[in-house]
Amino acid sequence: MDYQCEICHYIYQSEKGDPESDVEPGTSFGDIPLDWACPRCGIDKSMFQPMDQEIKQPKGKDPLLIMVLGLTTGLWTIAGTGSYSVTRQIGRTFLDELKSRNYNFHDSETSLKSVRNYFVENHHMAGDIEYSIKDDEVDLKVKNCRFFPVCSQLENQGVLITTCPYTNTAARAMEEATGYRFRISKETHGFGHQIRLKKVSKV
């Protein structure tokens, strides 16, 4: 049985193995070491799904991601930069959900850890979210993001807002912890984004 990566669509074929990662030809997917990672995008093996015996090409984007693409593009077309209030609401809505599940937002470190655990550990929406906190800004590195193809397409179309759940939730969580609003900026990094939250004003 072949297995396909949900992020980059790399196909692991047991008859070929992955010799560059010391996985010999003939190794079944279940026998691959737990610390093995996708040779194309670096995601762990938990993000691979079994395929039929016949190798199939990806069937296109996830319908949910197509909906996000359409909604975000339409929002930008209608409201332009005025749509930032809507993307901020995405963060508020997720924050309310996290609070209802007893995640903590007492300080910056706890807040970002809560956001990471919710999206990465509980829902596997990204391979990882690394973060570092400075005096007036936060750097987030989202790795192997499920939304990456949609975000890249939006950026190529010149859509300047982001409906990224990690970004908006992290920004709102930092506001909750510090009492300051944060401006969002991001750039592409592998199959994810490097995100910067810059402290700008009191809430």
**Distance from CA of residue 40 to its chain's centroid?**
17
All domains of the chain in start order, with CATH: 3-50 (2.20.28.10), 63-202 (3.30.1380.20)
Single-letter amino acid code for the residue at 65:
L
- Residue 55 has a pLDDT of 45
- Mean pLDDT of successive 10-residue stretches along the chain, which has 203 residues: 82 92 92 86 80 54 70 81 81 94 95 95 86 92 80 78 85 95 82 85 89
Q: What is the pTM of this model?
A: 0.70
Q: Which of 190, 100, 113 is nearest to 152 (CA)?
A: 190
CA distance 147 to 164: 8
- Residue 61 has a pLDDT of 53
- Residue 70 has a pLDDT of 81
From residue 56, how far is each of 30, 32, 44 by CA, in Å? Answer: 20, 22, 21
From residue 78, how far is each of 36, 68, 152, 174 by CA, in Å? Answer: 45, 15, 20, 29
- Residue 100 has a pLDDT of 95
**Residue whose pair of structure tokens reads 């969580």 in the numeric block:** 173
- Residue 58 has a pLDDT of 46
